[in-house]
Amino acid sequence: MLLSILVIILALAFLAKGGDLFVDSSLTIGRVLRVPRFVIGGTLVSLATTMPELVVSAVASSVNDPGIAIGNAVGSSICNVGLIVGAVALVSPPIQVVRSDFIERIAWMGSAGALVVIFTWNRTLSQPLAAVLLGLALAYLVWDCLGIWRQKGMAIDGNLEERDGLVSSLGQFGLGLLLIVGGGWLLVDSGQLLAELLGVPSGIIGLSVVAIGTSLPEFVTGLSAARRGVPDLSLGNIIGANVLNLFLVVGLSGSISPLTLDPLTQAYSYGWLGIFFVVLTGMGFRRGCFDRRKGVFLLGLYACYVTGLVVVPMVARAL
């Protein structure tokens, strides 16, 4: 068990560093290619921070471990709201959001969660339904890009120094992708072994250790945005990442091979996913402001969720 834990720590380090390189290089490449800043933050950064979830779930699906594949995507969405939004709201000034924009994006997120629940209601995600989720992921990205271009209509000029750094950024991009893929393989293998040693469904490992690990890029991005005084960018990134987790990550995993959930993982994770999505929607819809009090509430709610991940399987085994 100790070796599995050490391998998981190494895999998380690979994912964290790879995600960091991936995000930084994506920002530089976007600027050099004259992509508007909002496009970079709303699409490219969301895609970059979601890459660990995408790789880990795809690897898990390819080795026939649907518990980690879908548990990682759903668990990361829960972690994004409870842990990351909670932490950013706690350490930064109140986050003000534009209600109309928030409602549009939260509608995408809520629709993604609802469709994943509906498509897997019988605890199986077929490949045709997974293809539908992939199509909706593409539709979201196209909608996001078109909407941003309509609002801004301006590009950011890349300066000479940034153009000179394009080659090194492409190298960082490739290295980050390599670390993410390698970390993903290690995390899935060690996660499967740890689940067997602990006698719990692999979905529980996917919802906890794997989900937190693959959410590290969002966490780092969120804290960095808070330090720079732009926490609203982090909130937009989180909502976008959740849409991609549920549409793109689950869709790709189910397209590789059909996914089958165990009853415990489905009942527990889906219930909490609904709770966090409703709470986030209510917080933004009422006043469009996320302050420290709401951050504490989200963190406390996430602590309850994590505690349940430990207690519920123990109770289920006892029964």
User: pLDDT tens-digit profile of 23-40?
Assistant: 677 667 666 766 555 455
**211-221: average pLDDT:** 75
**241-259: average pLDDT:** 93
Residue of 178, 193, 181, 176 lying closest to 6 (CA atoms)? 193
pLDDT on residue 153: 46
pLDDT on residue 38: 46
Query: Could you give the 3-state DSSP secondary structure of residue 275?
Result: helix
Model confidence pTM above 0.85: no
**259-268: average pLDDT:** 85
Specify which residues 125 forms β-bridges with.
Answer: 259
Percent of the chain with pLDDT over 70: 76
Query: Which domains can be identified in the chain, with CATH numbers?
Result: 45-153+186-318 (1.20.1420.30)
Strands 95-96 and 124-125 turn out to be: unpaired
Residue of 227, 150, 157, 187 lying closest to 7 (CA atoms)? 187
Chain-wide mean pLDDT for the chain? Answer: 79
Confidence of residue 245 (pLDDT cuts 50, 70, 90): very high
With 70 as the cut, is the pLDDT of residue 19 above it? no
C-alpha distances out from residue 27 to 44, 149, 252, Å? 8, 17, 25
Q: Which residue has the higher pLDDT, 199 or 159?
A: 199
Q: Which tokens sit at 212?
A: 């937190």
pLDDT on residue 81: 93
Q: Which residue has the tokens 């940034």?
A: 162
| 316/209 Cα distance (integer angstroms) | 20
Q: For residue 28, give the amino acid letter.
A: T
pLDDT on residue 148: 61
pLDDT on residue 39: 55
| 144/286 Cα distance (integer angstroms) | 24
Rg from Cα positions in the chain: 19
Confidence of residue 303 (pLDDT cuts 50, 70, 90): very high
Confidence of residue 157 (pLDDT cuts 50, 70, 90): very low
What's the CA dihedral at 111, 114, 118, 123 to 10 degrees?
A: 130
Q: Quote the strand ranges of 48-204, DSSP E.
A: 95-96, 124-125
| 300/70 Cα distance (integer angstroms) | 24
